[in-house]
Amino acid sequence: MALLIRDVRREDLAQIEELERMCFSVPWTYMQLESQLPDEMHVFLAAEEDGVVLGYVGMMTVLDEGYISNVAVAPEARRRGVGTKLIEELMHRASERDLSFVTLEVREHNEAAIGLYAAQRFVPVGLRKNYYDAPKENALLMTCTLK
């Protein structure tokens, strides 16, 4: 079956919570993830294949601004275009919502993620000192201007 990018549903949250634990040293809780379910302020997309959530991306909108919260792809599904397809659909949704820009933070030394975002027209615009814990690391702030 082909990869499907779709809105996250409540029944996906257990799989997404497991992805959080696999991908992040400080994972979000089930309740935090539940607060991101799609509504007028949130875009929350899953990449599904054969009923399995391989990745997800979340974005909160404020006025005409988009703030990406988390992007995660299961380790065994990396380098297969899952992250690219998630970001492409997220940016399509951002355009539909007529957002001026979308921004995110990424670990300063996460070259794979930085490359993914750069390929989607995100550019470095700043640094947040000691933004991440476990391990402590700076965040590179990256933004894609839409209009």
Q: Which of 20, 48, 56, 117 is an active site residue?
A: 117
Question: Does the active-site annotation cover 132?
Answer: no
Q: Is 56 a catalytic residue?
A: no
Catalytic residue selected from 20, 48, 56, 105:
105
Q: What is the DSSP string of the chain?
A: ---EEEE--GGGHHHHHHHHHHH-SSPPPHHHHHTTSSSSSEEEEEEEETTEEEEEEEEEEETTEEEEEEEEE-GGGTTTTHHHHHHHHHHHHHHHTT-SEEEEEEETT-HHHHHHHHHTT-EEEEEEEEEETTTTEEEEEEEEE--
Active site residues: 105, 117
